[in-house]
């Protein structure tokens, strides 16, 4: 049977549970263990697909088209495991499944309650991942211990551990250990209270990982061990990292976190091989060349809306030995009068998908600026759709061209740059919902796209698009100089375009950032960063 690791967090939200879980996953994978991973989110939304990325962070997409929490991106990047729709479950989905079952008579007319019916459904969600070829199932609970919405999940953890018994399950609790600058003291009381609350719910953590601003003195760790009822060697210090989140696995490995887990669960011994990981970190840290990349988007709530893009830029920079200087520019603040000043000095401009309708006029101005000033440019997802719109209006002479998602809308289909595709082009279930998940892309010979992919003829990329480049306008766009460099081999839907004569200008309807990995950057991000680095070098001469 598979062994289970349950990860909870305390004191504050956003304490770094996702990164810690991903880092432990990397260490276990490098020991040769086979993993499944699950993020449990206590919110009532059925999935993150309709949530505002500025509030909850980016919406990540898996190979099978599931729209999931951004922590799944951390899991995939660190562990190297491609996850699926069963890797993210919400309270909304749990309740939906129980209510639908009750409506079908699945409970025989009995009273449906949180215990046992909701907790049983929660246990089913992580038992679904158990398999003969899976050694460890890692289950992270979002939110903070003590939150009312998390109680059914914690109760399900307790029940499962009791039912399995022995060395089948292990609990990791991650807390914040604050440093009070005024008194220059490290305070352990919040961690003590968080663990106390967890124990009130019937769970004794086996390992406590302490998120801290600095290294914790030995006396502090001993105090936490004493009052949290764990061995001293089971109190781990996860200090804030300066250069890269990819340092976290090294920090945990140096404290033998994976040894503790394997010892407690009776898993095969061995040591993880992290030489390539350490080499990647060293290469990134010693990069001498720089490239200033302007990321254009809706940034009112910070950078989690573009987490995968930021990480993919780091991967591309490390592979090129280029240090990325990322400037995040709020699209709503871009105007005709200030676009030159805001973007001057940029070696590359990237427009990811997350901007949506917010700031679309500013995004269009930035795209035009990159095109006219011959700045290396990459647009993904909805960013590609806006790049097509900018080209249609300002190059192809289609001044009235519009987009269905942007005001004032498009009354004439022949003027819509993006449109729903004719029903014959897509399977029935995708005509309304668009495309989600992996789709093939045939790469045009002698294109920047094919060159970036190392000469490959076909690739498969993750999609999350509701509209396609309108076939009715395609001829006009081509006549004006737009080069279609990628298309789906089955439907002939446009996957990518570029501008001949421009140093590097590529738009793709898919999300390459979702398949970028540390040490294995996505080819498009690697090529884009290389082009930006070349411009940066030329600028400094």
Domain 292-540, CATH among 3.40.50.880, 3.30.460.80, 1.20.1270.10, 3.50.50.60: 3.40.50.880
User: What's the pLDDT score for residue 433?
Assistant: 55
User: What's the pLDDT score for residue 429?
Assistant: 40
| DSSP state letter for 201 | T
How many angstroms separate the CA atoms of 61 and 76, rounded? 11
User: What's the pLDDT score for residue 207?
Assistant: 97
User: What's the pLDDT score for residue 165?
Assistant: 84
Q: CA distances (Å), 294 to each of 77, 113, 439, 445, in order? A: 23, 51, 29, 29
pTM (global) more than 0.75? yes
Cα angle, residue 251 at apex, residues 28 and 182 outer, rounded to 5°: 140
CATH 3.40.50.300 domain range(s) in the chain: 3-279
Q: What is the pLDDT of residues 41-62, one digit of tens each?
A: 999 998 888 887 777 788 999 9
Look at residues 141, 146, 144 and name the one whose alpha carbon lies nearest to residue 160. 141
Q: What is the mean pLDDT of the chain?
A: 91
The mean per-residue pLDDT over the stretch 510-522 comes to 96
The two tokens of residue 26 are 């990397």
Helix (H) or strand (E) holding 289: strand 289-297
- Lowest model confidence (mean pLDDT) among 136-140, 220-224, 407-411: 407-411
**Does the structure show a pLDDT above 60 at 300?**
no
User: What's the pLDDT score for residue 357?
Assistant: 67
The mean per-residue pLDDT over the stretch 229-252 comes to 92
Q: What is the pLDDT of residues 67-108, one digit of tens each?
A: 999 999 999 999 999 999 999 999 999 999 999 999 999 999
Look at residues 291, 295, 352, 296 and name the one whose alpha carbon lies nearest to residue 322. 291
3-state DSSP of 45-72: CCCHHHCCHHHHCCCEECCCCCEECCHH
User: What's the pLDDT score for residue 130?
Assistant: 94
The two tokens of residue 442 are 């045939």
CATH 3.40.50.880 domain range(s) in the chain: 292-540
Q: Enumerate residues 6+ apart whose C-beta is below 8 A from 101.
A: 107
Burial 212-247 (b: 16+ CB within 10 A, else e): beeebeeebbebbbeebebeeebbbbbbeeeeebbb
**Does the structure show a pLDDT above 50 at 427?**
no
Helix (H) or strand (E) holding 51: none
The mean per-residue pLDDT over the stretch 473-488 comes to 96
Peptide bond into 130 cis (omega under 30): no
**Helical H segments across 87-183, by residue range:** 91-103, 119-127, 151-164
**Does the structure show a pLDDT above 70 at 158?**
yes
Does domain 3-279 fall under CATH 3.30.70.20? My reply is: no
**Greater model confidence, 166 or 131:** 131
User: What's the pLDDT score for residue 358?
Assistant: 73
The mean per-residue pLDDT over the stretch 445-449 comes to 95
Q: What is the pLDDT of residues 363-399, one digit of tens each?
A: 999 999 999 999 999 999 999 999 999 999 999 999 9
Q: Enumerate residues 6+ apart whose C-beta is below 8 A from 176.
A: 10, 11, 12, 15, 190, 191, 210, 211, 212
For the chain, report the end-to-end CA distance as a whole number of angstroms.
62
User: What's the pLDDT score for residue 423?
Assistant: 40
**Does the structure show a pLDDT above 60 at 426?**
no
**Helical H segments across 273-381, by residue range:** 275-285, 307-320, 339-343, 360-372
How many angstroms separate the CA atoms of 74 and 310, rounded? 12
Q: What is the pLDDT of residues 529-540, one digit of tens each?
A: 999 999 877 766
The mean per-residue pLDDT over the stretch 235-259 comes to 92
* Residue 431: Cβ-neighbour burial (10 angstroms; 0-12, 13-18, 19+): middle
How many angstroms separate the CA atoms of 106 and 115, rounded? 16
The mean per-residue pLDDT over the stretch 211-219 comes to 89
User: What's the pLDDT score for residue 475?
Assistant: 94
Return the percentage of the chain with pLDDT > 90, whole number: 79
**Does the structure show a pLDDT above 70 at 180?**
yes
Number of Cβ within 10 Å of residue 514's Cβ equals 25
The mean per-residue pLDDT over the stretch 435-457 comes to 96
How many angstroms separate the CA atoms of 539 and 292, rounded? 11
How many angstroms separate the CA atoms of 507 and 485, rounded? 9
Contact 36, 134 (CB under 8 A): yes
In this prediction, residue 437 has a pLDDT band, given cuts at 50, 70 and 90, of very high
Assign 357 to helix, strand or coil: coil
* Residue 425: Cβ-neighbour burial (10 angstroms; 0-12, 13-18, 19+): middle
């Amino acid at each position: 049977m598979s062994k289970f690791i349950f990860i909870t967090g305390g004191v504050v939200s956003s304490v770094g549970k996702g990164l810690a879980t991903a880092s432990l996953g990397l260490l276990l994978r490098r020991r040769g263990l086979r993993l499944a991973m699950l993020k449990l989110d206590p919110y009532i939304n059925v999935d993150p697909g309709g949530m505002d990325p500025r509030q909850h962070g980016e919406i990540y997409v898996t190979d099978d088209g599931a729209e999931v929490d951004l922590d799944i991106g951390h899991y995939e990047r660190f562990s190297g495991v491609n996850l699926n729709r069963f890797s993210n479950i919400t309270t909304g989905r749990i309740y939906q499944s129980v209510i639908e079952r009750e409506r079908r008579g699945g409970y025989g007319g009995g009273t449906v309650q949180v215990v046992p019916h909701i907790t049983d459904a929660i246990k089913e969600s992580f038992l679904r991942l158990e398999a003969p070829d899976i050694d460890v199932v890692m289950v992270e609970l979002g939110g903070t211990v003590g939150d009312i919405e998390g109680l059914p999940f914690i109760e399900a953890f307790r029940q499962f551990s009791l039912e399995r018994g022995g060395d089948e399950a292990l609990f990791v609790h991650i807390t914040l250990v604050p440093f009070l600058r005024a008194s220059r003291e490290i305070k352990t009381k919040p961690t003590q209270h968080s663990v106390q609350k967890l124990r009130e719910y019937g769970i004794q953590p086996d390992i406590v990982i302490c998120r801290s601003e600095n290294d914790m003195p030995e006396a502090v760790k001993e105090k936490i061990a004493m009052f949290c009822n764990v061995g001293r060697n089971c109190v781990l210090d996860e200090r804030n990292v300066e250069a890269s989140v990819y340092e976290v696995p090294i920090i945990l490995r140096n404290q033998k976190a994976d040894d503790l887990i394997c010892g407690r669960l009776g898993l095969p011994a061995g040591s993880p091989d992290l030489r390539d990981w350490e080499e990647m970190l060293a290469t990134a840290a010693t990069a001498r060349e720089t490239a200033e990349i302007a990321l254009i988007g809706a940034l009112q709530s910070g950078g989690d809306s573009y987490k995968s893009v930021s990480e993919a830029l780091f991967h591309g920079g490390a592979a090129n030995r280029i240090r990325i200087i990322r400037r995040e520019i709020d699209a709503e603040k871009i105007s005709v009068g200030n676009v030159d000043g805001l973007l001057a000095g940029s070696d590359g401009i990237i427009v990811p998908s997350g901007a949506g309708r917010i700031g679309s006029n500013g995004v269009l101005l930035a795209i035009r600026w990159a095109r006219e000033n011959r700045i290396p440019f990459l647009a993904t997802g909805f960013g590609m759709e806006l790049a097509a719109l900018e080209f249609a209006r300002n190059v192809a002479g289609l001044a009235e061209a519009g987009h269905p998602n942007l005001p004032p809308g498009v009354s004439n289909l022949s003027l819509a740059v993006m449109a729903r595709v004719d029903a014959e082009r897509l399977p029935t279930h995708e005509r309304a919902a668009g495309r989600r998940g992996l789709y093939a892309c045939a790469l045009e010979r002698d294109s920047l796209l094919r060159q970036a992919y190392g000469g490959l003829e076909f690739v498969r990329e993750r999609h999350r698009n509701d509209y396609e480049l309108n076939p009715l306008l395609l001829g006009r766009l081509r006549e004006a100089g737009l080069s279609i460099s990628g298309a789906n081999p089955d439907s002939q839907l446009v996957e990518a375009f570029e501008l001949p004569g421009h140093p590097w200008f590529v738009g793709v309807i898919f999300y390459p950032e979702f398949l970028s990995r540390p040490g294995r950057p996505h080819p498009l991000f690697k090529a884009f960063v290389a082009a930006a680095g070349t411009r940066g070098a030329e600028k400094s001469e």
